[in-house]
Structure 1
Amino acid sequence: MKDLDIDPKQKAILEAAWTAFATYGYRKTSMDDIARGAGMSRAAVYLQYRNKDDIFQTLVRYCYDMCAAALSEALSRGGAVSDVLEAAFLAQSEIVVKPMLSSAHGMELLEAGTTTSSEAVHEGEAKLREIYVGWLNRLADEGAATLPGSAEDTAALITSSLKGAKMTARSYEDYCRSAKLLAVLLGTGITK
């Protein structure tokens, strides 16, 4: 996991939790698994987090923060709109989608995200939409794109389409094919 402004102990716990969740699934992962992976006692983990749900919610927020940083960086590069979108979609997906779809427990983790961390997912998706809104408005202001609706509606379409692609992909390669196609369709559709 990339470094964001986070306490090293908390980062170790989150990294250990991600590994344990990907290895054992959300339901079968125990606080002992997380503590062992972080090289800490269970008591030390409980000093940082109330329980496994608290860790998972924090992990979801942390992953969205990393996705937002990768997305912002990719959208700041120049180039053809379709190419920038493809780079943005893939940069965003490298952090969570790739490891999740590579795990035997990926679908369980997706479900856990929507059930135990729905507020964190909602906030994270809103953050990604806002990044897309800013980028789309910049394109429109520069005369590089014509949006068929508002930037907000277009950004919502992007994030919901990517979420749908994630939920239905059989593999990361399937997801990437869908993301690339979406980038071409959207890029072609809004480019002047």
Structure 2
Amino acid sequence: MSEAENSNRRSTILDAAFRTFVAYGFKRTTMADIAAAAGISRPALYLEFKSKTDIYRAEFVHLLDRANQATRDALMGEGDFSSRLTRAALAGTIDALRNIVDTPHGAELFDVKQEIAEDLGRLWFDRMEDDIARALVDAEAKGEITLASSKMDPTTFARLLVSAIEGIKLRMTDCDSAEADIRRLVFLMTRPLIN
């Protein structure tokens, strides 16, 4: 099997696993359910993944990669810096959560994340902080913002912003109110930076 075919097969499995997890929950989902949803046999599934925990972690990385790419795309997109940063913050958080939160088993899937993929959540923090810090440096080089007015370096600004976003996520009751709070947060944090 070629590398491209293997990648497509893994992607098919992960997409099927996601649909199965949101439909049945993590605990009720079996490897047989995932195999059936992916259109492959259980033995073929076991050739790719040892357990549904491995699949969940791989799915989390898959979602994380997409969220990080959406964040980078938004930061490099059109508009003023505050607008780009707002779109990036939402792309990296709320947009990714909407497909999970509103499902019957969304709460369970988040609880499972704490048990088996907490380290991957830290990876999300690190990547988003790095992307935002780089965007701040680029925006200052282009004359869009002045970091000195915030009395923070890019790394500190990015760390505080991402930590505040995570706090909003932890306390959120629904995606729409969390989105509104993230928009307000980015506005408040970027206002002193804008030239």
Q: TM-score, normalised by structure 1?
A: 0.88
Matched, 1:180 2:183: yes
User: Which stretch of structure 1 is more off in the superposition, 129-138 or 93-102?
Assistant: 93-102
Task: Provide the residue aligned with 2:161 in structure 1.
Answer: 158
- Taking the aligned partners of 1:103 and 1:118, their CA distance within structure 2 comes to 21
Task: Provide the residue aligned with 1:144 in structure 2.
Answer: 144
Kept in 1: contact 2:168–2:181 (CA 8 A) = yes
Instruction: Name the amino acid aligned to 1:44.
Output: A
Q: Which runs of 5+ in 2 are unaligned?
A: none
- TM-superposed CA distance for 1:164, in Å, is 2.1
Task: Provide the residue aligned with 1:170 in structure 2.
Answer: 173
Cα gap change, 1:49/1:150 in structure 2, threshold over 3 Å: closer, same or farther? same
User: Which stretch of structure 1 is more off in the superposition, 57-66 or 137-146?
Assistant: 137-146
Instruction: Name the amino acid aligned to 2:182.
Output: A
Kept in 2: contact 1:133–1:155 (CA 8 A) = yes
Kept in 2: contact 1:162–1:179 (CA 8 A) = yes
User: Which stretch of structure 1 is more off in the superposition, 158-167 or 128-137?
Assistant: 158-167
How many equivalent pairs are there? Answer: 189
Detail structure 1 runs of 4+ shifted over 4 Å in the superposition. Answer: none
Instruction: Name the amino acid aligned to 1:107.
Output: A
1:96-119 Cα deviation digits (max 9, x unpaired)? 211122123222222222220122
- TM-superposed CA distance for 1:82, in Å, is 2.3
Task: Provide the residue aligned with 1:69 in structure 2.
Answer: 69
Cα gap change, 1:95/1:62 in structure 2, threshold over 3 Å: closer, same or farther? farther
- Taking the aligned partners of 2:89 and 2:5, their CA distance within structure 1 comes to 24
User: Which stretch of structure 1 is more off in the superposition, 37-46 or 87-96?
Assistant: 87-96
User: Which stretch of structure 1 is more off in the superposition, 30-39 or 144-153?
Assistant: 144-153
Higher relative contact order (CA 8 A, sep 6+): 1
Cα gap change, 1:163/1:6 in structure 2, threshold over 3 Å: closer, same or farther? farther
Q: TM-score, normalised by structure 2?
A: 0.87
Percent of residue pairs identical = 25
- Taking the aligned partners of 2:75 and 2:46, their CA distance within structure 1 comes to 38
- TM-superposed CA distance for 1:76, in Å, is 0.4
Matched, 1:10 2:10: yes
Instruction: Name the amino acid aligned to 1:41.
Output: S
User: Which stretch of structure 1 is more off in the superposition, 94-103 or 133-142?
Assistant: 94-103
Kept in 2: contact 1:20–1:33 (CA 8 A) = yes
Q: Which runs of 5+ in 1 are unaligned?
A: none
